[in-house]
Structure 1
């Protein structure tokens, strides 16, 4: 764990406030949070992590489903000296954040387009598009036009991002390269399915969905709301599946508001 913490955790704002764990989605890496980590670090002790098998991190020995990945994130918290933390995640990371809240390790959970509510034809669509995202962008990465121009980013990254023209070229290059670097992409994709048993979290949970999410569709948020009636459901107007570079300020505000709900809640 010591080498993992040194190589696969970005820590910002240590000593600035309550702990906040950031968890990326399938195929991405800790750099997914670069647009917001500085904003969040002004208020929280933030750690953005690489999930096992992503971002160059070693893979788990067990099946990489949301249960084992949640348990691993809790081990990371132990290594950081955190008993509980606010947790925010995107896509697969959002599902993990909710799992951690259900398991009692989260002070609050913010889930941005969380997985776990894909049904019917949505499943082959999402899996097919994720496989396209894994293989196509990395092959086009040497053609700088797709990362270095707003039009190129819009053409290639519009599936995942609502406003790809706004992202920086360096962020675009990271997003294009990350899926191909993942060593357990297919294994994780096959292992994570519709949620099964989920004890209701007793901490504030926010489900936030980009209105331009074309991978996991916004109506899946209503399924989460039906499963977790006490959760707050928020629409992110004009944002995509990975909303952090689309509007860093709005994403920061959504996460911060969720943490404030935890502070406002009566102690038990």
Structure 2
């Protein structure tokens, strides 16, 4: 619940990566200004059937430091590939939300994905374009709030009204999001070192290649009440360009980060896609 329980004794701690469970290798990728914390409830539910790895992106809370001021999707994917190599994962199942979905498509292009579950994926715009500019301005408008938030005491930073505002942006049902999940989301945003570099570099990001040639089995999960990148505008390329074999699912009654409010449903939708793929043998 977003209110009514005692406040934790300390703010959440950064996580370099969640790594739990055994079975099919599953990579979980978080969104822009988020962290592996957003996957905690889904990871718990998947750990009985999958070896789950959810790393923090470069420049994000808990992740590797930025090298310079330019960072793009390719650089984020490079670092994830290095981590997969360190773990001995030549390929794995991938689920990514928002920015994580965009990086997931890049990793699929590189042949690293057995399956891809893209949850409200970012990147469904041409470069340059009005859609690209609009989403950039939306995140840029958060910059003053982040700057102020860093100066405030915890009692205000994690106040119920702050959590409610964050929940209203990212979920459809604020009361369904856990207090711990919302506090980790706030902390992730305040400690995202990649915020300005990615917003500036984003003007130069190349657009996603045409998706019709993608060979990886894809499940697209569109969030019905997405207030960050609404389906009406930002899902069009994915709907039109993905192969006919791709699943296209509208997840009802959830916002842009559905793992916060509906972890059971999201875990089930990922698991279905992972296990359906086991009947489709592919050379990798």
In the aligned structure 1, how far is the partner of 2:171 from the partner of 2:144?
17
1:42 aligns with 2:40: no
1:166 to 155, 164, 176: 176
Label 1:156 to 1:74 Cα distance change in 2 as closer, same or farther (>3 A).
closer
1:184 aligns with 2:194: yes
Bigger Rg, which one? 2
Residue 19 of structure 2 aligns with which residue? 11
Q: Deviations over 1:62-93 (max 9, x none)?
A: 73211121121111101111111101111110
Label 1:179 to 1:170 Cα distance change in 2 as closer, same or farther (>3 A).
same
1:211 to 224, 234, 248: 224
Residue 247 of structure 1 aligns with which residue? 262
TM-score by length of 1: 0.87
Residue 264 of structure 1 aligns with which residue? 279
Label 1:126 to 1:170 Cα distance change in 2 as closer, same or farther (>3 A).
same
Shift of 1:147: 4.5
In the aligned structure 2, how far is the partner of 1:10 from the partner of 1:163?
26
In the aligned structure 2, how far is the partner of 1:59 from the partner of 1:145?
28
In the aligned structure 2, how far is the partner of 1:213 from the partner of 1:9?
26
Residue 70 of structure 1 aligns with which residue? 77
Unaligned runs of 5+ in 1: 1-6
Checking the alignment, whether the CA contact within 8 Å between 1:19 and 1:82 is kept in structure 2 is yes
Residue 247 of structure 2 aligns with which residue? 232
The root-mean-square deviation of aligned C-alpha atoms, in Å, is: 2.5
Checking the alignment, whether the CA contact within 8 Å between 1:10 and 1:48 is kept in structure 2 is yes
Shift of 1:95: 0.6
Shift of 1:144: 4.6
Checking the alignment, whether the CA contact within 8 Å between 1:206 and 1:233 is kept in structure 2 is yes
Shift of 1:257: 1.6
In the aligned structure 1, how far is the partner of 2:144 from the partner of 2:41?
24
Label 1:154 to 1:194 Cα distance change in 2 as closer, same or farther (>3 A).
farther
Label 1:171 to 1:84 Cα distance change in 2 as closer, same or farther (>3 A).
same
Unaligned runs of 5+ in 2: 1-14
In the aligned structure 2, how far is the partner of 1:35 from the partner of 1:130?
26
In the aligned structure 2, how far is the partner of 1:174 from the partner of 1:31?
6
TM-score by length of 2: 0.82
Shift of 1:146: 7.4
Shift of 1:256: 1.0
Secondary structure (helix, strand or coil) at the match of 1:51 reads coil
Aligned length: 260
In the aligned structure 1, how far is the partner of 2:64 from the partner of 2:24?
28
